[in-house]
Amino acid sequence: MVPIRLVSDRGAARPDEAEATKGHLQTVLDRLAGRPVDQARLAEVPGAWRLSRAEPEDLVLLSVSSHGYTDRRGIFHFVLADIGANHGGTVTPTLEARTLSSDDLSAWLREVDARELVLIVDACHSEATINADGFKPGPMGAAGSDS
């Protein structure tokens, strides 16, 4: 088991934590997908060097607790630590470019070849992550199996 903690909290971070940014999450998921990650990015996330490409017998558990919203197209956006300041609660094109969209997350996870991939979302409007048009709960767009 390789726990990776990406946390956004004011105050001193623990030595085993990195800030919950879009780049740090992508680093972790790139490792799990077997995509190359440069050493500088890898060094920013404590423990990420221990990750390797996920294999069919692996379980990947991703738990995201964050602010979130659904845009006009029905795409869910996670609001992570690196969105910048002074948005005043207004969704702007700049803010949208800095959030992590469900489309981005889906693309990053596509090559993660784990037997089980569990995504727990604890965010405002998180129901949109499964109520989107065309959502199917099974892997690869399948409806799932009875086994």
Q: What is the pLDDT of residue 121?
A: 85
Rounded distance between C-alpha atoms, residue 24 and residue 20, angstroms: 7
How crowded is residue 23: how many other Cβ atoms within 10 Å of its Cβ? 13
Rounded distance between C-alpha atoms, residue 103 and residue 107, angstroms: 6
- Domain locations in the chain? 5-133
pTM of the model: 0.78
Structure tokens at 88: 């005043």
* Burial of residue 101, with CB atoms counted within 10 A of its CB: 0-12 exposed, 13-18 middle, 19 or more buried: middle
Residue with more model confidence, 134 or 102: 102
Position 86 pLDDT exceeds 70: no
How crowded is residue 69: how many other Cβ atoms within 10 Å of its Cβ? 17
Q: Distance from CA of residue 128 to its chain's centroid?
A: 15
Q: Which residue has the tokens 């800030």?
A: 19
19-38 residue pLDDT tens: 888 999 999 999 999 999 99
Answer whether 54's CB lies under 8 Å from 33's CB. Answer: yes
38-49 residue pLDDT tens: 999 999 999 999
Least confident of 17-21, 37-41, 55-59, 127-131: 127-131
Read off φ and ψ for residue 43, nearest 5 degrees.
-65, -20
